[in-house]
Amino acid sequence: MSTANESRQAKVIGELRVFIKKVLSDPTVAVKCVEVARKHRGKPDAHQLVADEISASTTVRIPENWSEADRMFLEILDDVLDDEEALY
């Protein structure tokens, strides 16, 4: 693996660690993120709407220029909602 890939992966892991720490220190963050994702699901630019609202209403900050970790987080929210729909 190249040094650039290792550096990129280390950055993603670092960002995800910070996020997980926020969720563990305030369990309402996860609930709020899922609620926001549910609210904007299916809308045009849903990921941008979700990112903006999560940044405005929680301790999670998703910058204007998304990192790979930010994209992964938004995709995981989609997966959670897909799983939720599959249950019903």
pLDDT of residue 22: 86
- For 31-79, write each residue's pLDDT tens digit: 999 999 999 999 999 999 999 999 999 999 999 999 988 999 999 999 9
How far apart CA 6 and CA 15 sit, in angstroms, is 14
Is pLDDT of 1 > 70? no
pTM here is 0.83
Answer whether 82's CB lies under 8 Å from 38's CB. no
Answer whether 63's CB lies under 8 Å from 70's CB. yes
pLDDT of residue 35: 97
The domain spans of the chain are 3-86
